[in-house]
Structure 1
């Protein structure tokens, strides 16, 4: 049972936060602050926010959006005209500890020349932009869909023949919001060193949901769009109908393939060389899918989930929103909470950063527009914020130590979030069981050629860390780890739920040596429930959220994003939760166990559909690439091979501009198309007009023509093209690094900039055991002789070795 929050212990109680501007990235950042107890003051323009009309609507008694209400629980609202009330807004901003400023998303970068707090900078300021403050795209008209397209997060989703899939815009906002929130919390912890202003690029933030693809490009393993539910060079990884319900499977290793073959009654295929590895199975994907479609219809999804789960095959139910809302594993964790707006009430996902008594709040009410005007035009202006002297140039988490026991993508990304912001992160591996992203095909070549040092994804996920090796299966290794933990502020782990307890290194054991420790655990469904031992990959997490049932084209099957989506989403959430817990630790001196669920971290991405189910008792059919509010909005084929353009007409003025670019005065003059509802009613006609125009020019040319007219548009970049994108190149986003065994490679930067510069990459990813002697010598006082003895006994080491080569204890 999840521990209830306590208003007196909420992690961010006492902070005053100003939220000014519109859009889901800003709103979700503010929601995270508000649901952890901060006093968040949302500034609303007199005409309101377009997202107040975003479906689903709550009903006639409360015509606002349920999604808008969910994004604004526990906030306060003031209505103000940015021009007429500029002086009062400046005074209000000067009473705030944190300012979240997204004015540039609507008004352009010029608005940032007038700081909202005037000449008195707040302790923390996060500025939201579409593309950053410089570079060729910086003046572009942005949107969540366009940023997603230009970031590489659309190209590989969908059918081979296209068009690629475009998910709900909220998903872009949540990813950007998590990164903005993490930076703000870290900056608040480092406020003693001076005020901090970070500028966020939404475009670069979205890239971090597909960052794995940049590693695959550099390893020569990147594949073109393979089709719906086909990715990562292995199969089967799909969603299948059963006798009752949908089942999601993700077959990666040979033992998993063997288990699947035995379960469906085809044991003769288990060791057939035609299916021996992921590449062979991918080459026969159509054949495998046909076999599975027949076999899986013989039993229910619940039966397959139980059977395959018992065989340790990554398998989950793919629930409808009605089924998701009823699942015990989520109900027991209070994963769905009440959302109210006026007299209307529904349920939405809880903020998935679980800190027990420190939050988050279990639901809340959204404010009526301007409900708090009187307070903030009166006594509210007397609040005195924390003031920082000068501008900090160091990183805010300097002096924080984290022990990283993670592997793959989600866990290392969580730890890297803190490392990028200045924490010292010590990554612990074993020479027998190194991080599986170094490689999992333990051939003789793997050891001889040190292939474990040459995986680009490992190098991207583990920057700014120091690396050591310890054999935790042996008493000496465990004892050394405990000594490191005794000096650390936090431990992050993403092992299977049974691993650390078997080693005697569970939360209780670690807290015994360090009562103030923050411990982050992040299994698929959280700890302590019936599904805690479920095996999962990033695709599995996405399947279990139900999101694929609402992604893709109406006439297609349920569709995953094809980017192991659950991994980066889980990592971003775990990183934010880690920083929040460290903030509480600094205030109280107390540690805590963070019992996170990576599936639960996916649920905010599904919030529009969860809320629709709660409000209306059903969810509408998938709309493909169309938008609930804007039209035309979609993805159109251009003249080049597999060349695509995303465009989103967000205002009536943009519609007139689009007609001018298309050379269609007839459409511009059509009274039925002057406003968005009329355009939505004639989308087939408008799609045809845009498609005919786009087909005659390259996507880059089309983007430039539309952007010059002020229409939000962007190329659907593939990751290989993205790595030579002129905007990212001009901004220095790609940093050229050098590392032993691989030479030079490219790493992306954080999407946040301070003083116009990316946050520094202070340390390339460690080679195996690179810093063992340094860390154990500095932190534990081991002598050179002691270090040599540990290496001789293979408790530590700098070369991977087979399990059979382990020295006996």
Structure 2
């Protein structure tokens, strides 16, 4: 999908400030070894922060993480750490603690991954440092948080994803469940860490003090599966693994072979299903009454695929994609790594950037936060161990944010309190972005219309949908829109449009994730809105970007994963590309959007200038495939796929336990863990054999080892097996279903799930953020609004309208509190992405 990047329509009159890096006033120190904290720090480096990575003499253990380049450099470490500096502090040196303390006292933000891996970092008294430097922002990450039944569990990326419900629903029906390679938890946790630290930087600019955050990698991972958790709460225990590239509750959503290349398909709504069947010439499927709903299609998957598979092989993926564009269908070619590296659009947008790793030069994934005024750094160099690599030398200028702030605002003030957001989003990605801003204290005003409200209030609309107000009972809508105020405005009517403009004129941020042309055609494009409010940060969250030649491609979270390149590195060697989630791209896009908005907000607070953010959600998925992109850019070889095995950890796999469809992921990450594992499964001979201490040696008997593990796990329930393995510090995680997470003992002990009461729904659980300042999470302040719930409050309180004026708006259907039926609609629906 290569192309020339179109010139942005407003680029000619924007003064690009790439030389004035927006976070250049911040110094960040990173200690310990954790993928999540490393990625968090890299996001600061992307926008010019001075990031100093503290390493032991042997270097960060992540420097040994596969995949490796031909020169033996870790492509994963390279992605996480380019444009940082490295300093070595030897814990055995008598001045180690003094040196490290001085570095921390001289920084604005401390990012701490020691609880994941201490990496020989000297012991320091963080509380004492924070007393002397109250402006310090501190982020501490751990696998599971400081307290709770799992707090001291040994963990890997895969065992955490298993516990988070991200493994058991994926793969062949008969099992074993399959899972993607490592790196997912690190990316998601890193985004959450950045959101915590960047929001604290915003708060400090308003006179606030520094903040101390804890980040649970496990809880961060639940962002990817929370909508399935709450669908299960509403529907019961109905989710099961239904096959490779098949996912409940929608069908067809998967990857199909074509005449040339692979095609990602996501036909979700009844209209899309009919259009897809029409495109393929399958009128018998299109007109079958049982196949109108997703439920009916799920019950007839094999029959449907029997028609789809041969028909799709009659044309190429690119040809189907072109036809899908004409019909507004979510179809996308599944790219290979070479396609991504040759995509001139991604190179032009800096989604693909150059990186130097020692003597090697390759390409990796750049910043996903596409700010158009303050550009991120376009690639860079990976520091050697102890290499004080700085752009322009060591910076000594004073910072605009003081490190010590006497007389600060109350530390319990939420970090984004006082920020106003106008929310033109629907579905998952956009609402998650704005929900997070609301959770952090922003005043978020969600705009819907009684003619076309948020589509996540229901796609399939059974009898009674309107009369029984079922659109107020959708659990996914409820979890994505808490801590917001809701109002309705018909933006196609002049009165509604004028009111929206008045709201935006008073706002700090506006976010939209409609198709790229919707808001501009309504008269709410950035060029119009910045004339009303020059300090406005406005973000468009489209699938491919506002100026992409694929800008009109319809997309869901599944489409974004299909188009990212990730499926090509998942699964067994020689097998088809494999999706790893049902809607992976949605939450990832939402978190990246929140991160981008916070960077732009910092710039706006410094300069008074707003800007446009052109977030391409498909690019937000590319970090998950970054290491393979780098290796392929250097050696040109296809990526090696390991299935449920691992390039470093032997053994590593998903093993059957006692009972029906019970599974556990087990991994040995070092020689000591291997010896403990061998001993507990009854193979002391393996444990005492020094020749098996290396993973390379164990690889030769990996089949035998896996049989030995499964013989042991088959005699135990998954939770029992996990308990016994964790008791001897072996990394293990039971493969959970989403419904299991609702009663997870660790989450319960940490008050992660909060009870919220809402009209039409009653008491229901809501997930907390995985970042917290205290032992308990931020409380959820308000439930998701009902349709138009805050119309009068906003129109009178913010815009000064009289009761008579508000009444007339209701009479004219500009506002309202009840959804109009399809028969009453005067206009076609808006379409997400």
TM-score class, shorter-chain normalisation, is over 0.9
Q: Which is worse superposed, 286-295 or 550-559?
A: 550-559
For 2:554 and 2:372, how far apart are their aligned partners in 1?
A: 25
> Do the aligned residues in 2 keep the contact of 1:794 with 1:806 (CA within 8 Å)?
no
Aligned length, in residue pairs: 805
For 1:404 and 1:627, how far apart are their aligned partners in 2?
A: 42
SS in 1 for 2:465: helix
For 1:693 and 1:443, how far apart are their aligned partners in 2?
A: 48
State the match for 1:216 in structure 2.
231
Q: What TM-score comes out, normalization by structure 1 length?
A: 0.96
**1:66 aligned to 2:75?**
yes
SS in 1 for 2:466: helix
State the match for 1:25 in structure 2.
36
> Do the aligned residues in 2 keep the contact of 1:10 with 1:357 (CA within 8 Å)?
no
Give, in angstroms, the shift of residue 6 of structure 1: 4.6
How do residues 199-214 of structure 1 correspond to structure 2 at under 5 angstroms? 199-214=214-229
State the match for 1:277 in structure 2.
293
State the match for 2:166 in structure 1.
153
Q: Which is worse superposed, 718-727 or 145-154?
A: 145-154
> Do the aligned residues in 2 keep the contact of 1:16 with 1:385 (CA within 8 Å)?
no
> Do the aligned residues in 2 keep the contact of 1:351 with 1:604 (CA within 8 Å)?
no
| 1:529 aligned residue (534, 548, 554) | 548
| 1:291 aligned residue (302, 307, 321) | 307
> Do the aligned residues in 2 keep the contact of 1:105 with 1:129 (CA within 8 Å)?
yes
Give, in angstroms, the shift of residue 348 of structure 1: 0.7
For 1:212 and 1:756, how far apart are their aligned partners in 2?
A: 25
> Do the aligned residues in 1 keep the contact of 2:145 with 2:214 (CA within 8 Å)?
yes
How do residues 71-86 of structure 1 correspond to structure 2 at under 5 angstroms? 71-82=80-91, 84=93, 85-86=96-97
> Do the aligned residues in 1 keep the contact of 2:101 with 2:124 (CA within 8 Å)?
no
State the match for 2:108 in structure 1.
97
- Change in Cα spacing, 1:455 to 1:382, as seen in structure 2 (3 Å) is closer
> Do the aligned residues in 2 keep the contact of 1:632 with 1:648 (CA within 8 Å)?
yes
State the match for 2:830 in structure 1.
none
Q: Which is worse superposed, 778-787 or 386-395?
A: 386-395
Give, in angstroms, the shift of residue 427 of structure 1: 0.3
For 1:162 and 1:178, how far apart are their aligned partners in 2?
A: 32
For 1:255 and 1:272, how far apart are their aligned partners in 2?
A: 13
**1:458 aligned to 2:473?**
no
* 1:148-206 deviation line (CA, Å, top 9, x unaligned): 11111222111112222222221110000001001100011112221200000000000
State the match for 1:16 in structure 2.
27
For 1:260 and 1:195, how far apart are their aligned partners in 2?
A: 53
For 1:424 and 1:573, how far apart are their aligned partners in 2?
A: 20
State the match for 1:671 in structure 2.
690
**1:427 aligned to 2:446?**
yes
State the match for 1:124 in structure 2.
137
| 2:599 aligned residue (553, 562, 580) | 580
State the match for 2:489 in structure 1.
470
For 1:292 and 1:442, how far apart are their aligned partners in 2?
A: 25
For 2:731 and 2:121, how far apart are their aligned partners in 1?
A: 18
Give, in angstroms, the shift of residue 588 of structure 1: 0.9
Q: What TM-score comes out, normalization by structure 2 length?
A: 0.93
State the match for 2:831 in structure 1.
none
Give, in angstroms, the shift of residue 117 of structure 1: 6.7
> Do the aligned residues in 2 keep the contact of 1:539 with 1:564 (CA within 8 Å)?
yes
- Change in Cα spacing, 1:117 to 1:608, as seen in structure 2 (3 Å) is farther
Give, in angstroms, the shift of residue 23 of structure 1: 2.2
Greater than 6 Å deviation, 4+ residue runs: 2-5, 108-113, 378-384
State the match for 2:498 in structure 1.
479
Give, in angstroms, the shift of residue 512 of structure 1: 2.2
- Change in Cα spacing, 1:581 to 1:379, as seen in structure 2 (3 Å) is closer
For 1:717 and 1:592, how far apart are their aligned partners in 2?
A: 43
State the match for 1:56 in structure 2.
67
* 1:88-129 deviation line (CA, Å, top 9, x unaligned): 111111101000011111249999884287353452110001
State the match for 1:400 in structure 2.
419
* 1:507-557 deviation line (CA, Å, top 9, x unaligned): 122222112111110111001221000000110110001211221234653
State the match for 1:723 in structure 2.
742
- Change in Cα spacing, 1:374 to 1:768, as seen in structure 2 (3 Å) is closer
For 1:357 and 1:64, how far apart are their aligned partners in 2?
A: 34
How do residues 376-395 of structure 1 correspond to structure 2 at under 5 angstroms? 386-389=403-406, 392-395=411-414
SS in 2 for 1:530: coil
RMSD of the alignment, in Å?
A: 2.4
For 2:107 and 2:490, how far apart are their aligned partners in 1?
A: 49
| 2:655 aligned residue (615, 620, 636) | 636
> Do the aligned residues in 2 keep the contact of 1:103 with 1:111 (CA within 8 Å)?
no
**1:313 aligned to 2:329?**
yes
> Do the aligned residues in 2 keep the contact of 1:41 with 1:76 (CA within 8 Å)?
yes
For 2:181 and 2:262, how far apart are their aligned partners in 1?
A: 22
Q: Which is worse superposed, 126-135 or 796-805?
A: 796-805
> Do the aligned residues in 1 keep the contact of 2:160 with 2:218 (CA within 8 Å)?
yes
> Do the aligned residues in 1 keep the contact of 2:673 with 2:729 (CA within 8 Å)?
yes
How do residues 339-738 of structure 1 correspond to structure 2 at under 5 angstroms? 339-372=355-388, 386-389=403-406, 392-442=411-461, 445-554=464-573, 556-738=575-757
> Do the aligned residues in 1 keep the contact of 2:18 with 2:376 (CA within 8 Å)?
no
SS in 2 for 1:746: strand
Give, in angstroms, the shift of residue 274 of structure 1: 3.4
State the match for 1:136 in structure 2.
149
Q: Which is worse superposed, 471-480 or 145-154?
A: 145-154
**1:188 aligned to 2:201?**
yes
For 2:600 and 2:226, how far apart are their aligned partners in 1?
A: 26
Q: Which is worse superposed, 311-320 or 555-564?
A: 555-564
* 1:239-278 deviation line (CA, Å, top 9, x unaligned): 1111111111111122222222222222343212232222
State the match for 2:4 in structure 1.
none
> Do the aligned residues in 2 keep the contact of 1:646 with 1:714 (CA within 8 Å)?
yes
For 2:395 and 2:815, how far apart are their aligned partners in 1?
A: 62
- Change in Cα spacing, 1:772 to 1:379, as seen in structure 2 (3 Å) is closer
Contiguous gaps of at least 5 residues in structure 2: 1-6, 828-833
For 2:119 and 2:220, how far apart are their aligned partners in 1?
A: 19
> Do the aligned residues in 2 keep the contact of 1:338 with 1:362 (CA within 8 Å)?
yes
Contiguous gaps of at least 5 residues in structure 1: none
Give, in angstroms, the shift of residue 489 of structure 1: 0.5
